[in-house]
Amino acid sequence: MPHPVVADLVQLLRLERLEDNLYRGQSRDIGTKFVFGGQVMGQALAAAQATVGPDRHVHSLHAYFLRPGDIEAPIVYSVDRTRDGRSFSTRRVTAIQHGQPICVFASSFHIEEAGVEHQIGKPEVPAPEDLEPIAIPAPAVLEKLPPMMQRWLSRQLPFEVRPVYPRDELKPPKRPPFQQLWFRLIDPIDDTPLLHRALLAYASDFHLLGTATLPHGISYYHPDVQMASIDHAMWFHRPFRIDEWLLYALDSPTAQGARGLGRGSIYSRDGQLVASTAQEGMIRIVGEAP
């Protein structure tokens, strides 16, 4: 049996079918103020996948986050079967809470085809076994933080994360806008490729926008910093397993106008480029919190 937090996450991505093209997913409080964007993407992808034949696999997705999600309420996903061609299928999904859209999502699916192939190489970094997991702050530090932040920092994660360049998120130094980290699901799951892709969509939302904060010595944990995802794009290139080590190589080419851009390349341990990501998000400095 998988670890309870892994089993819960897998269950979170298995939606309830309400009607043709209509699905419902539950929400989880993981210590964020609103529903985690990765949850919405993973569930929207699961809804879209449920309407596509087994011979077609997602190769790209694009999401726009319109409103913050309520962690106390379920989310309804309405799927528009936009097109089914000979090689590609396109789906549009609207995530709805309290009668209003909170996210619009588009994805494209493709049959298996042979073609030209190349990729950029994996960065040279230490192996995950030579790195330490992200450290949980000491109890004396945690108890001084707001309850929501305590839940976020002390929760049991379904993913193990080992950064190449660790930093103290509560007192972050200024650094160049790039980072690399290894991650994997903490327990093995079944071989269903659709599940592994939905879980990677979920995990890809961690650390991506945060890369844009590195040059400024700020983080999500600072009370005067407001951060939220605006959009998220993802491309799937090659097969992978989410329960085996993956390297997330991230950079942020720009931040301006209260927005920051993050980009990511995800590699398997043997150097295969399995997915690419991009995200723009809001980053505001609002002054001293009350």
Q: How far apart, in whole angstroms, are the C-alpha atoms of residue 207 and residue 129? A: 20
Question: Are the beta carbons of 140 and 183 closer than 8 angstroms?
Answer: no
Q: How far apart, in whole angstroms, are the C-alpha atoms of residue 194 and residue 57? A: 8
**Is 229 designated active site?**
yes
Query: Look-up: residue for tokens 């999502």?
Result: 105
**Is 205 designated active site?**
yes
Q: Which one of the listed residues 180, 229, 268, 276 is annotated catalytic?
A: 229
Containing 199, the helix (H) or strand (E) segment is: helix 193-203
**Is 204 designated active site?**
no
Q: Which one of the listed residues 205, 243, 265, 276 is annotated catalytic?
A: 205
Within the chain, strands assigned E span 16-19, 22-25, 56-65, 75-84, 88-97, 100-111, 159-163, 178-185, 225-236, 246-256, 259-268, 273-285
Residues with catalytic roles = 205, 229, 279
